[in-house]
Amino acid sequence: MNHLELQKRQLLNRKRMQNSSTPAKIGFIGLGKMGNPMAIRLLTAGYEVTAFDVDALAVARLVSDGASQATETSEIAQSCDFIILMLPNSEIVNSVVMDENFLKVLKPGSVIIDMSSSEPISTKKLAASLLAREIHFVDAPVSGGVKGAVEGKLTIMVGGDDSDVDRIRPILANLGRVLHVGTVASGHAIKAFNNLLSAAHLWATSEVISAGVRFGLDPKRMLEAFNGASGKSGSTENKWPNFILPGTYNSGFTLALMLKDMKIAVKLAADAGTPLILGKEVADLWEKASLELAPLADHTEVAKWIEENL
């Protein structure tokens, strides 16, 4: 499909939604630091959102913003055309979707959108199982952090059939930039590789700045130089100036989740016959840091650990 045809199809989908007297009903499962602002953006866009989370207070907060409450995930499966999952990992995704009470009331033709950072192989198996029941599955993990979720500026890496992606594109467009990266599980694979790169950048940047400070350099001047030269990255442009230098370490993304994604990337590459030599070493270093930091430590706290231990 060329760019012009894609634009025409997107416009047609938007017009259909605007002209519809019954807007699509969206179920949202997982109202954590990312899920809550994403669901709020859908409410603001005019969608009917029914929410579920194991944290009753998280649901109550979203209900105060206009959502409907589901006391069981099966209520969402029964009433919604599109179901968004924003959950910690594949194990939890599978436990929600493959629950018999959830499965038996899913509407044929409905679309499940997994925006979690899940394992690609697990995603493929789950999608195939659902398709046999006439349920469509799309993976759509995101990058951009809490700030991107609040502002609707996430990068959304979507894996799925063209027709399924076309159906959900108007919904996801309210959350950020939609990139259709391939078939089912492509989004989860690219997200894992992206986070491995991001983690490698942060580790290298933190080592270099720690060394520079010991030499007598000003970290702010170092970042200014890096960002005007070839050493710049998301770590030099965002994470160091906004979360590490101020000492807040509150990016909203935990070290545990970062490490999980790194391990997914390393295993995926190994299974494909292309082991990541540097990638595995970086993942091992992050795991060493994780053993000494708090269980819910923000991933930017790895810079503090490097400064204190290397």
Distance CA 63, CA 5 (A): 39
Residue 175 has pLDDT above 50, yes or no: yes
Spatial CA neighbour of 82 closest among 112, 42, 114, 116: 112
Amino acid in position 85: L
At residue 4, the pLDDT reads: 53
User: pLDDT per residue over 182-208, tens digit each?
Assistant: 999 999 999 999 999 999 999 999 999
pLDDT-derived band at 23 (thresholds 50, 70, 90) equals low
Residue 16 has pLDDT above 90, yes or no: no
At residue 310, the pLDDT reads: 85
Superfamily of domain 189-309: N-(1-d-carboxylethyl)-l-norvaline Dehydrogenase; domain 2 (1.10.1040.10)
At residue 11, the pLDDT reads: 47
Q: Based on the residue annotation, tell me whether 191 is a catalytic residue of this protein.
A: yes
User: pLDDT per residue over 206-262, tens digit each?
Assistant: 999 999 999 999 999 999 999 999 999 999 999 999 999 999 999 999 999 999 999
- Of the residues 25, 191, 239, 267, only one is catalytic, namely 191
User: pLDDT per residue over 31-59, tens digit each?
Assistant: 999 999 999 999 999 999 999 999 999 99
Q: Would you kindly state where each structural domain of the chain is located, as residue ranges?
A: 3-184, 189-309
Residue 96 has pLDDT above 70, yes or no: yes
Distances (CA, A) of 155 to 115, 174, 180, 223: 11, 11, 11, 24
At residue 111, the pLDDT reads: 98
pTM of the model: 0.89
Percent of the chain with pLDDT over 70: 93
Q: What is the mean pLDDT of residues 131-152?
A: 96
Distance CA 224, CA 48 (A): 45
> What does the DSSP 8-state code read for residue 57?
H
Return the sign of the alpha-carbon dihedral for residues 195, 196, 201, 203.
positive
Distance CA 270, CA 253 (A): 26
At residue 24, the pLDDT reads: 84
Spatial CA neighbour of 191 closest among 264, 241, 95: 264
Residue 287 has pLDDT above 60, yes or no: yes
**Terminal Cα distance for the chain, rounded:** 51
User: Chain-wide mean pLDDT for the chain?
Assistant: 93
Per CATH, domain 3-184 is 3.40.50.2000: no
Helix (H, G, I), strand (E, B) or coil at 209: helix
